[in-house]
Amino acid sequence: MKRKIILFFLILMPVAVFSQDMNSLNFINALGDRDRATFGDAVRFFAISRAGRSAGFRADLAVLKKDGIAEGMDYKEDLPLKRGTLAIMISGYMPLEDSLLFTLFGGKRYATRACIAQGVMNYDVSEGDYISGEELIEIMANLTEKTGDK
């Protein structure tokens, strides 16, 4: 009987792992079709990048705050995402050392400029621009490439 139970769990474990990956893929696929990404989308994307899965908005946000990625950010999940907010999150995920102004003053404007200098964001943008789902995917892909994460 023990063998059957162990065999059952060994068979189901890959199914559970695969279904989690499918949830992440479905999220990214749906995000690519949206005109505007939200703060919740960015939180979920960072959670997937760090842990390989999302545990829900509140849990993911708590972890990101603890890790310094979303420190001081108490935005609502459905708030449209602006480039400056994402740049601040990126600065908590990856050091933005190339920007003296960001190092001295911080802020969304200088974080955005530092992300541009690092090659994470396009050069023809402003910190107040809203981000589409496709742009969020592209920025996160650039970030992953720069940091070497999978």
Q: Which pLDDT tens digit goes with each residue over 105-117?
A: 677 777 778 888 8
pLDDT value of residue 79 = 95
Listed by start position, the domains of the chain span 2-147
Is 90 exceeded by the pLDDT of residue 58? yes
Whole-prediction pTM value? 0.77
What is the percentage of the chain residues whose pLDDT exceeds 70?
77
pLDDT value of residue 6 = 43
Q: How far apart are CA 142 and CA 122, in angstroms?
A: 10
pLDDT tens by residue, 86-144: 988 888 787 776 666 666 667 777 777 888 888 888 888 888 899 999 999 888 888 88
**Least confident among 7-11, 16-20, 44-48, 101-105:** 7-11
